Amino acid sequence: MSQFHEAFFEESFEGLEIMESELLDLDIGEGDVEIINTIFRAAHSIKGGAGTFGFMNVSEFTHVMETLLDEMRDGSRDVTQFAVDSLLQSVDVLRTMLEAARDKADVDEEMVASRYAVLEGILKGEEAGAAAAPVATAATPEIEASAPASAGGASGWVIDFAPHPDLLMAGNDPVRMFRALSELGELSVDVDLEKLQPLTELTPEDLYLAWTITLTGDAAQADIQEVFEWVEDECDLTITPLSGEQPVSEPVVSVPVVEPAPAPAPAAPAPKAAPAKAAKPKAKKPAEAASIRVGIDKVDEIINLVGELVITQSMLDQAGEDLESLAESSPSQEGEAGKANAEILLRLSKGLAQLERNTRELQEGVMRIRMLPISFVFSRMPRLVHDLSSKLSKQIELVVSGEETELDKTVMENIGDPMVHLVRNALDHGIETPDIRAAAGKPETGTLNLNAFHQGGNIVIEIKDDGAGINKEKVLAKAVEKGVVAPDDVLTDDEINNLIFAPGFSTADVVSDVSGRGVGMDVVKTSITSLGGSVSVTSEEGKGSVFTIRLPLTLAILDGQLVTVGNESYVIPLITIIESLQVDRQNINQVAGKAEVYKLREHYIPIIRAREVFGLKDDKRDLHESLMVVVEVDGAPAGIVVDDLQGQQQVVIKSLETNYRKVETMSGATILGDGTVALIWDVNGMVNVHRKKLNRGAVKA
Amino acid sequence: MSTEAPANNDIITGDKSHEDQYLTFLLGEEEYGVDILRVQEIRGWDSVTTIPNAPPFIKGVINLRGTIVSILDLRERFGIESVEYNDLTVVVVLRVKSDEGDKERIMGVVVDAVSEVYHIGENDLKDAPDLGYAINMNYMKGMATIDDKMVIVLDIDHLMSLKDIDELEKSGQGLIEE
């Protein structure tokens, strides 16, 4: 059962996302039927699933939302700002409830109840604080809608239930439905055997029976419909009030009423918004293209195998080349045999060339499986902007482009929070309030642009606002005060702007009137750096700021510098390397007899001997002319001395932890072209171990 | 060699219902057995990539068809005098339950040579006597006698546990080998 639960939760959360994004697309007062339908469907399947799995609170709560949506859809209720906001908040509550159900935790009943009450209130026509909407029409249909329920409730219902023959195929069980009905009241069931085939012609999987059910008791019609909601497309169902005392308004409700085809515009048609609206859903379509749900472990397995294939292929390639050069250097065989050999060789090299091409394409293709469009992250933003702009009383328009740009799922999962932070920052501190904007001669509505595109092997995400920009003087003053820069340092404008990412720059009071007060900006930078990416900002005072995030497309591949220490080759992530240089004796200095520092131009950086860190024998040799890789660790440079530098190459990252454990100095491992394993450095860990050893050495001495 | 095993087994025990198959290997004169269902494969010794600051019994990691697998030397694990690896030296690749218990980890052990496959009935697996500090009792599942030879049956989950390394590292010993 639990695997069904998992699928249910996964689908429900997706459903919530759909509801959220569609609600945000919904224009107040117009109520595009297509959009409401989409929201309704999402809510409906959550309700159905929750009912099946016994999450009654979820199903009840969703039911109220559904009722409200239903009324919006058939035009009997106006799409007001208040209703949409309430629905959005209800989506949040629903998410909390589902999370609680998933984690088997308790849910905040009070919150649910109060939200429930608000929704009920709307249904009853209370529009607390709503923009004065012409709701006069809304009241009438509602009475109509509730009337049959109460009237019918007094006496009972006659249900004609004629399932299609294939009803059982979908796993539906009429007995279960009858049992559910029997809980609603007294049940008497007549079966219709007319269609029943003789045993010889009977298909055991088909259902030939039909029933007439008389339900006495005060059941509501909606409750009865709910029992049949999973089969409504697979049966002919009529529900009639028992006594027939309700003949006028809705004598017969045929059940396929719940999911009609897009109703022929009961809501006001919106010719004005039509072009824009039409374009939006189209842009989203690719994401909804036919897809299958596959476990990420299966994908990773394929990626592994393809990685192996690449190595095998390069081995074969090497062997082919060797064979060729061998044949060239010793043209021993002449005549027919020689010709035949040459021909075989040619075929081999052709085959190898093709293998190489196919392998590369296969690798790229497999990597693409893990790629998802960034719209998964971008889709969180409209809600954020919607909520924040009303909270901050600012008018902000969000413009999103490049949402189809793809990046690795793992990167995606980790970029959401930093992006939310940057967007929040831009709204909070970047874009000004309408009156300030008007005074500055800008349009009252500020614009926030989110843009994503591919550049080289990276994905670039831009977050651009047309707000106040960064106040450089204040930032510089604060940086000097905080000791981030020296007072006499000469910095370019860009350098000053990027000071907001410096650790220790986070204070609440600083430059609070401009974009980027620096709160948590170092955290943003740290999390982006840990993904192997970078973030920078350009800004023009009065015009706005642009934050640019640059990320690798995938965490599975890394650009590395190969180095040798002892007998082993290691990979240093290229992104951490500032430069590589040859050590000059004159620049080496000792500190306290133990630690070594290197004078690199104007700065002193610690020298870290890789051999020492790895516990290898180090002859304490003179470092003169040895090779040093300068890396950045927590924003500060450090020089790591290695035995030799080899080439740079792209490597596939593999976990050491899967079959071993975390190694402090290493972030993972990779397989080199010759099939051997090379470990990938974690330069932070290298520095940590170096410090530990230094400390211990100092204690010993 | 597996064809002989059932014959052996009939002599040892009449009870066939509770018996498991064990792969045995040699460390010097001693014969050790592991549950054969945990053996993934047996491969010849090949060079490894060493892991900096790892304890001596962790020889390093190899590329096993795209997966990084760590290799443990059983002689060094037991503190038996090590011998030079030769043509017979093999790596037995085992599926081990990780310390957290919920995942499987693939690890290789270096042994002198593989020996036999035996059926050993549950009743024939005797508790090992307490040997004090000679060997950690947790590593042993029991002992069995086969053809007058003693076979030490290992509990590989405990044997291959990396908790010891964590403790070593915490105490700072794992870092420095001077």
Region for A546 from its dihedrals, namely left if φ exceeds 0, alpha if ψ lies in -120 to 50, beta otherwise: beta
Cβ proximity of A597 and A589 under 8 Å: yes
Least confident among A269-278, A381-390, B106-115: A269-278
The partner residue sitting opposite A568, judged by closest CB among B50, B66, B70, is B50
For the segment A175-189, the average pLDDT, to the nearest whole number, is 79
Q: What is the percent of chain A with per-residue pLDDT over 70, rounded to a whole number?
A: 84
- Report chain B residues whose CB lies below 8 A from the CB of A308: 65-66
Q: Position of tokens 């028992």?
A: A242
Domain membership of residue B58 as a residue range: 4-170
Residue A149 amino acid letter? A
Q: How far is A680 from chain B (nearest CA, A)?
A: 11
How high does pLDDT run on average in chain A? 78
Q: Does A251 touch chain B (CB under 8 A)?
A: no
Q: Is the pLDDT of residue A305 over 90?
A: no
Of A145-159, A311-325, A633-647, minimum mean pLDDT range: A145-159
Measure in Å the smallest separation between the Cα of A5 and chain B Cα atoms: 21
Residue A529 three-state SS: helix
- Chain B interface with A: residues with Cβ < 8 Å: 47-54, 58, 60-63, 65-70, 105-107, 162, 165-166, 169, 172, 175-178
Give me the count of residues in chain B: 178
For residue A406, the SS3 value is strand
CB pair distance less than 8 Å for A664 and B53: yes
- Report if residue B176 sits inside a domain: no
Superfamily of domain covering A557-700: SH3 Domains (2.30.30.40)
Active site residues of A: 44, 66, 425
What confidence tier does B90 reach under pLDDT thresholds 50, 70, 90? very high
Whole-Å CA distances, B31 to A449, A682, A699, B24, B27: 71, 41, 46, 6, 6
What's the pLDDT band for A8 if we cut at 50, 70, 90? confident
A660 to B166: CB separation less than 8 angstroms, yes or no: no
- How many angstroms separate the CA atoms of A212 and A191, rounded? 6
pLDDT at A620: 63
How far the first Cα of chain B sits from its last, in Å, is: 45
Topology adopted by domain A373-552: Heat Shock Protein 90 (3.30.565)
Q: Tell me which residue in A614, A654, A678 faces B53 most closely, judged by beta carbons.
A: A614
**Model confidence pTM above 0.80:** no
Chain A residues whose beta carbon lies within 8 Å of the beta carbon of residue B69: 659
Of the listed ranges A65-74, A139-148, A196-205, the least confidently predicted one is A139-148
Longest dimension (CA), chain B: 55
Token digits for A541? 């005072």
**Looking at residues A358-363, what average pLDDT do you find?**
87
Give which of A149, A153, A158, A151 is closest to A214, Cα–Cα: A158
- Amino acid occupying residue A506: S
| pLDDT for A572 | 94
Q: What does the pLDDT average to over A337-342? A: 80
Of B53, B61, B105, the CB nearest to A677: B61
Tokens of residue A305, six digits = 């195998």
Question: Shortest Cα distance from B7 to chain A (angstroms)?
Answer: 37
Q: Is residue B177 part of a domain?
A: no
pLDDT for the residue B17: 55
pLDDT at B69 over 60: yes
Over residues A558-604, the pLDDT tens digits come to 888 999 999 999 999 888 899 999 998 889 888 877 788 999 888 89
Q: How confident is the model at residue A205 (pLDDT cuts 50, 70, 90)?
A: confident
Smallest CA–CA distance, residue A670 to chain B, in Å, is 8
- A58 pLDDT more than 80: yes
| Residue of A679, A689, A696 with shortest CB distance to B51 | A679
User: Which two tokens mark A180?
Assistant: 């559910």
Is residue A331 within 8 Å of residue A384, measured between CB atoms?
Answer: no
Residue B178 lies in a domain: no
d(CA A700, CA A690): 15
- Domains in chain B: how many in total? 1
ipTM of the complex: 0.82
For residue A490, the Cα-to-chain-centroid distance in whole angstroms is: 41
Chosen from B40, B51, B95, B178 to mutate, greatest number of chain A CBs within 10 A: B51
pLDDT reading at A694 higher than 50: yes
Range with top average pLDDT, A2-6, A547-551, B106-110: B106-110
Q: Is residue B12 part of a domain?
A: yes
Please determine, for residue A268, whether its predicted confidence score (pLDDT) is greater than 60.
Answer: no
Res A74: pLDDT: 79
What pLDDT is attached to residue A570?
95
Least confident of A168-177, B55-64, B136-145: A168-177
Closest to A640 in 3D by CA, of A648, A653, A632, A630: A630
Q: Which residues is B35 bridged to in the sheet?
A: B22
Residue A486 structure tokens: 């020296």
Per-residue pLDDT of A431-490, as tens digits, reads 888 998 998 888 988 999 999 988 766 789 999 999 888 888 888 887 887 777 777 777
Torsion of CA A376, A379, A383, A384, to 10 degrees: 70
CB A663, CB A679: distance < 8 Å = yes
Determine, for residues A304 and B69 on separate chains, whether the beta-carbon distance falls below 8 Å. Answer: no
pLDDT at residue A277, as a whole number = 39
Closest CA to A176 of A231, A130, A129, A127: A231
Q: Quick one: which of A605, A419, A631, A450 has its CA closest to A525?
A: A419
Architecture of domain A148-259: 2-Layer Sandwich (3.30)
Q: Give the confidence band of B160 by pLDDT, cuts at 50, 70, 90.
A: confident
| Boundaries of every domain in chain A | 1-134, 148-259, 373-552, 557-700
Better pLDDT: A209 or A204: A209
Residue B97 lies in a domain: yes
pLDDT at A275 over 80: no
Find how far residue A180's CA is from the centre of its chain: 39
The better pLDDT of the pair A423, B13 is held by A423
What architecture is domain A1-134? Up-down Bundle (1.20)
Domain of B68: which CATH number?
Answer: 2.40.50.180
Output the average pLDDT for chain B: 80
Q: Over the stretch A76-126, which tens digit does the pLDDT of each residue have?
A: 777 888 888 888 888 888 888 888 888 888 888 888 888 888 888 888 776
3-state SS, residue A695: helix
pLDDT band per the 50, 70, 90 thresholds, residue B56: confident
Task: Using the structure block, give the residue that is written with the tokens 């609440």.
Answer: A508
Three-state helix/strand/coil letters over chain B = CCCHHHHHHHHHCCCCCCEEEEEEEEECCEEEEEEHHHEEEEEECCCCECCCCCCCCEEEEEEECCEEEEEEEHHHHHCCCCCCCCCCCEEEEEEEECCCCCCEEEEEEEECEEEEEEEEEHHHCECCCCCCCCCCHHHEEEEEEECCEEEEEECHHHHCCCHHHHHHHHCCCCCCCC
A373-552: same fold as A148-259?
no
pLDDT digits (tens, 9 = 90+) for A594-631: 788 999 888 899 999 999 899 887 766 778 888 999 99
